[in-house]
Amino acid sequence: MLHLRLLGGPLIIVLLTLNSLFEEPAELPQTGPKDANLASFDKLMTTFVHKNDLPGAALAVAKDGRVVYSRGFGFADREKKEPVRPNSLFRIASISKPITAAAILQLVERKKLKLDDKVFEVLELVEPNGAKFDGRWKKVTILQLLQHTGGWNRDRKGAFDPMFYSPEIVKELKVRTPADAHAIIRFMLRLPLDFDPGTEYHYSNFGYCLLGRVVEKVSGQSYEDYVQKHVLAPLGIENMRLGHTLLRGRAEGEVKYYVPERDRPLAIMGTDVGKPVPEPYGAWNLEAMDSHGGWIASAADLVRFASAFDHPKKCKILNEKSIEIMFARPEGEPGKNKSGNPSGPYYACGWEVHPFQDGTRNTWHGGSLPGSSTLLVRRADGLTWAVLFNSRNMPGKVEPADAIDPLLHDAADAVKKWPK
């Protein structure tokens, strides 16, 4: 009998495993209106989400400023079997930067600010006590912050991204956990810059953290209130808001975020400080990342925002001059390649830009956080799309938004007839 039990257990496991291989996969939930002419997007999304075992995704596409496709795929909440819907809200991570850039350029238009203003003066920052101060801080301009040329390089050896450095900042400044944006700025004032402002390009979340404080200082409103009232509301966008770190702060209609079970760093906030938690829910402070990575949005609202710049004369939030500045090549070395010639793709003000010889350009921005992978694309032919995932983990080291990018271009090119 003992011998039979030992054989029986493994045999059952093998049969179940083999059986599962031959089972038809459960049908992937799909929500939102279908259009046979846009079936290439449906095929891509269902195949991509299922093949890569992703929990869920949303895709919206606009043509010539009008949303023509908005659908959800897979699960917003796997445990509760809640499907992603077209209006589901996702953490958009760094796609927050184009939103902040629009707010800054609008304030420049309204003569509340100048692009060559020094952020040290605008924010009335104070040299730190007990630490050697790098005087180059006083040279950093608003434009340099927009273009990631302010002086910080998180990728150099021994460097770090202060937006994810809360435990060290809390310990150094002796402040309450988690470190908020103001504590992060105080901490960074104690450190030297990595290069002379305006001479190099290095992507900087911290630079956009400063820009959020600039919006608050010159507008007299909270960053979120200003953006919602003056950038989003004129475009008919009502549901975008800043997200919250902890699961109990999950907004109505917001998806859940998924990471591998092994990814359980120590919490820096909430009731489990110092204990292992799921990485998206307490291991870093989303509230402090507001102006560089804190927004939650639907895919459809993101394409409404991005499409607003397609026809500069008709744009409701920025004038033609501001839109041209937003996409313009940085002056000097940051706008050149290693050969000293104008670079192909470059980073402008809140947007990656790929210029073409005919004077047109594709512009885009991606976003990535544990549990989130996002992409917003504006194509030169009048197409705009946003694709949002509630996980950034898939086979291999590539993230979903990066992997699907060329495939979305193929799916768009396969459309023979667009809705009128």
Q: Which of 70, 88, 94, 166 is an active site residue?
A: 94
Please confirm whether the linkage preceding 178 is cis (ω < 30° from 0): yes
Work out the angle between the directed axes of helices 320-327 and 96-109 (0-180°, nearest 10): 140
Distance of alpha carbon 57 from alpha carbon 42, whole angstroms: 12
Distance of alpha carbon 235 from alpha carbon 248, whole angstroms: 30
Q: Tell me how far apart the terminal alpha carbons of the chain are, to the nearest angstrom.
A: 72
Order of all β-strands in the sheet with 90-91: 90-91, 295-297, 241-242
E-only strand ranges, 192-294 = 241-242
Asked if residues 347 and 147 have their Cβ atoms less than 8 Å apart, the reply is: yes
Distance of alpha carbon 249 from alpha carbon 281, whole angstroms: 10
Q: Tell me the backbone φ, ψ of residue 224, rounded to 5 degrees.
A: -65, -45
Q: Tell me the backbone φ, ψ of residue 285, rounded to 5 degrees.
A: -105, 95
Beta-bridge mates of residue 351 = none
Distance of alpha carbon 361 from alpha carbon 378, whole angstroms: 9
**Residue 219 designated active-site:** no
Active-site amino acid positions: 94
